[in-house]
Every structure is written in C-alpha cells, then in structure tokens.
Structure 1
Amino acid sequence: MSSSYVIASVTVTNPEQFEEYKKWSTHAMQVHGAEVCIRGGKVEVLEGDWNPGLTVLLKFPSFEAARAFYDTPEYQKAKAARDGAAVIRMVCIEGV
C-alpha cells in the first residue's frame, strides 16, 4: 500500500475569518492522522506562470484515508468556517 496526499492551493480572501478555518482544519488533521508536509511557506516559481498561493500538502497512509479525510465531520466543520474566507483548489493524489 502506498501513501497518498491531499494537495491544496489556497487564495485567502478574508484573513481574519480564515484563522477560524485554520483552527478547525488543524483539529481535523490531528484527529485523522494527517502528516503535514507543507503548510504555507516560501514559493518560487521555477517554470511557467503558476502561482499556487498558500500551499498545503498532507500525507496519509492510503488513498482511501486521504479521500475519506475530506468527508469527515471534523473537516466539514472546517469547511463551513472557511466559507467566504478563501478559494481552495484541492486534489487527492495516490503516491508511489
């Protein structure tokens, strides 16, 4: 079984409200065993014009665990807190 990842590119539109999302999403990550590999930090574009904004990379033990994280009650609470505070592009990707 290979690890899998949730990758998110975040554009924050309401920083104050986004803090509430961060609180609840952190809780969800802890409850569901996500290994936080990246959560923000410096970005330097090496090719193309992609600017991913704030980037988050979470590692899970399986694709099923990574995918299931999104639907948990804990993460749904975080999503509700985020409504109107950010635009997020998020994918679940199976690792090697």
Structure 2
Amino acid sequence: MAAYIIVQENLHGDQAPFEEYRKQVIGTFEPYGGKFLARGGKVSVLEGEWPYDRSVILEFPSREKAEAWYHSPEYQRILPLRMRCMSSNFVIIDGV
C-alpha cells in the first residue's frame, strides 16, 4: 500500500541552505521509490486556515520505504539544511 509524506513549511532567514537542500533531496528519495506529487505549488484555501508558505507531497510504494528514506543516512545528512531555514510539519499518511 502506498504511503504519502506531507510537509507544510514556512521559510525564514537565509535561503541558501534551502537551495542546497533542494539540489540534493531528490537523489535521496528516488532510490526508495519516492516521487513528488506536489512541490510548492499554488494553494487555494477553501475552508479553515493554511498558514504555510509551501507544501510538499511525496508518494512512496509503502510506509516502510517512506520511513527508511526519512531515516536513511543520505537524508539525515541533508536534513539540517532544511531545519536551518524553515519550520515545518512533516507526516506520513498511509494510502487506501
């Protein structure tokens, strides 16, 4: 069963670390079968509030692959770049 990582992000401060993260992140999740479904596109709020600058949705073949990617040495090596310049919510949701 597919699993989805959903990230809600607010950027702040120096954007250089984020640009470096963006250059490297795809190479970390592709080996785990991950792919972008949405990446920072326009958001239209139809109900409630959405106080985030950016949103990202990734699809993985399984929860195990998604978790393996997140905890992989390759991703953990670049994660501090993202953490330096943004606050975020980062969740995994099982597909149906």
In structure 2, the residue matched to 1:72 is 72
In structure 2, the residue matched to 1:59 is 59
| Count, aligned residues | 95
Give the alignment of 1:1-96 within 5 angstroms.
2-13=1-12, 14-96=14-96
Asked if structure 2 preserves the Cα contact closer than 8 Å seen for 1:9 and 1:56, the reply is yes
Structure 1 runs (4+) greater than 3 angstroms displaced: none
Stretch deviating more after TM superposition (45-54 or 4-13):
45-54
Paired with 2:74 and 2:81, the residues of 1 have a C-alpha distance of 11
1:55, distance to aligned residue in structure 2 (A): 0.7
Instruction: Provide Cα deviations, 1:14-53, integer angstroms capped at 9, x if missing partner.
Output: 3222101112212212232211101111011000122332
TM-score by length of 1: 0.88
TM-score by length of 2: 0.88
**Which amino acid in the other structure matches residue 12 of structure 1?**
L
Between the two proteins, what is the percent identity of the paired residues?
38
When the two chains are superposed, the root-mean-square deviation of aligned CA atoms in Å is 1.3
Q: Which runs of 5+ in 2 are unaligned?
A: none
